[in-house]
Amino acid sequence: MTTPSAAPAQTPTAAPPTTAAPPPIALNPRTVVYTVTGTKQLLDLVNIVYTDARGYPQTEFNVSLPWSKVIMLNPGVQTQSVVATSIYGRLNCSILNAEGQTVVASASNTIMATCTR
């Protein structure tokens, strides 16, 4: 007599544990992003003056393009500014707020780009 063979017991496969997505990074509403784009010729000097967190002008000399800087302005600082100069290049600038929205932009494509708010 043959006994029917028992079917192998199927073990349920465990689903991988679900991991919650990390919470989005909350940017401080006082965060601004300064950007400068354009062309830089050989032997060209592109210099940038921007308003820092304390509201003071800071200068970076002979930068590479594209250039950007993220600044979290101190309370009370209202001025947002970036000015780029070049000898031969064609420059543009913009200032973005914490949500990534353009606050001010200049697409002048000249040797000097100014964005101030």
Are 88 and 42 spatial neighbours (Cβ–Cβ below 8 Å)? no
pTM over 0.85? The answer is: no
Q: Side chain identity at 1, as an amino acid letter?
A: M
Own/partner long-range contacts of 13-18 (Cβ < 8 Å, ≥24 apart): none
Query: Helix (H, G, I), strand (E, B), or coil: what is residue 44?
Result: coil
Q: How does pLDDT run across 75-84, given as a tens digit for each residue? A: 999 999 999 9
Task: Give the model's confidence band at 6: pLDDT under 50 very low, under 70 low, under 90 confident, else very high.
Answer: low
Residues 6+ apart with CB under 8 A from 53: 71, 72, 73, 74, 77
Mean of pLDDT values over 42-56: 96
Q: How does pLDDT run across 84-114, given as a tens digit for each residue? A: 999 999 999 999 999 999 999 999 999 999 9
Task: Give the model's confidence band at 29: pLDDT under 50 very low, under 70 low, under 90 confident, else very high.
Answer: confident
